[in-house]
């Protein structure tokens, strides 16, 4: 059976990915910094878990090696850790920027390093997360756009570096997804309607929209796809309808 590591598994998107992979017969190692939430969710799915700070390279690599020891091999790593900050640059503190870079870029970089450690012999798939904000200019998104833009560069470079080892690296770039992280936006009727209007398909995304693509990307049947940034954004980053 295939083996996947889901980092940030207790978040809205991470949990949806874990549920879908589990339903398709994957053996899973769920990774998060919150042991209480992680233990409960892993128990719900009857899968393994590992507590780690995903911003720390050594802890992510330890999680990956733990999965390898448990299952004998690893096929995929999906990193769903991220954050959201909506402020113009002049109101964003250095601490806030550093935190945004750490939670987004550093965790993605850590996943790539861990993939080299456990996928280098037989290849596999790494799925990271960018954002529509890195692909189209959105006001007050400077910090998150910078961090996610860096991830897009990382995807392309790492895909080239590790192609010879048959390690595929791709990213999903969502629009606004209804998760606990974004609840302050979609839970208020006026901001929810304004956000829907920005997405040409007229609705906000669900975690399952991202999960279905993540599972498709890790599927070995799609092993000729690497270095891609794929939007799951209702057309936000590429379409203008008025």
- In the prediction, which pLDDT does 226 show? 98
- In the prediction, which pLDDT does 241 show? 84
Q: Decide if 210 contacts 19 (C-beta within 8 A).
A: no
Q: Which token pair is 53?
A: 């700070």
If you write DSSP's letter for every residue of 29-90 in order, what string do you get?
EEEES-HHHHHHHHHHHT-EEEE--TT-HHHHHHHHHHHHHHHS---EEEE-------B-GG
- In the prediction, which pLDDT does 183 show? 86
C-alpha distances in angstroms, 240 versus 81, 134, 190? 30, 17, 21
CA distance 87 to 110: 26
Q: List pLDDT tens digits, range 50-70.
A: 999 999 999 999 999 999 999
CB neighbours of 43 closer than 8 A, spacing ≥ 6?
Answer: none
Counted residue by residue, the chain has a size of: 242
CA distance 104 to 100: 6
CA distance 126 to 158: 10
Which residue positions in the chain have pLDDT lower than 50?
none
CA distance 66 to 118: 10
Q: List pLDDT tens digits, range 72-105.
A: 999 999 999 999 999 999 999 999 999 999 999 9
The whole-angstrom distance between residue 209's C-alpha and the CA centroid of its chain comes to: 13
Q: In order of start, what are the domains of the chain with their CATH numbers?
A: 3-232 (3.40.50.720)
Q: Decide if 84 contacts 126 (C-beta within 8 A).
A: no
Residues facing 171 on adjacent strands: 128, 229
């Amino acid at each position: 059976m295939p083996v996947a590591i889901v980092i940030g598994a207790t978040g809205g998107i991470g949990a949806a990915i874990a549920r879908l992979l589990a339903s398709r017969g994957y053996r899973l190692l769920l990774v998060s910094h919150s042991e209480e939430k992680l233990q409960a969710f892993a128990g719900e799915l009857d899968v393994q878990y590992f507590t780690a700070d995903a911003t720390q390279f050594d802890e992510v690599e330890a999680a990956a090696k733990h999965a390898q020891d448990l299952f004998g091999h690893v096929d995929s790593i999906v990193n769903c850790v991220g954050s959201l900050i909506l402020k113009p640059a002049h109101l964003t503190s250095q601490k806030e920027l550093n935190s945004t870079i750490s939670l987004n870029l550093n965790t993605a970089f850590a996943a790539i390093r861990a993939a080299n450690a456990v996928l280098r012999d037989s290849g596999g798939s790494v799925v990271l997360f960018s954002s529509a904000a890195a692909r189209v200019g959105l006001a007050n998104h400077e910090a998150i756009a910078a961090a996610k833009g860096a991830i897009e560069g990382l995807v392309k470079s790492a895909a080239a570096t590790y192609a010879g080892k048959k390690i595929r690296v791709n990213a999903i770039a969502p629009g606004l997804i209804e998760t606990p992280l974004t609840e302050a936006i979609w839970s208020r009727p006026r901001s929810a309607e304004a956000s829907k209007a920005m997405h040409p398909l007229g609705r906000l995304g669900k975690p399952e929209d991202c999960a279905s693509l993540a599972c498709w990307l890790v599927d070995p049947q799609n092993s000729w796809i690497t270095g891609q940034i794929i939007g799951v954004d209702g057309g936000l980053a590429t379409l203008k309808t008025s």
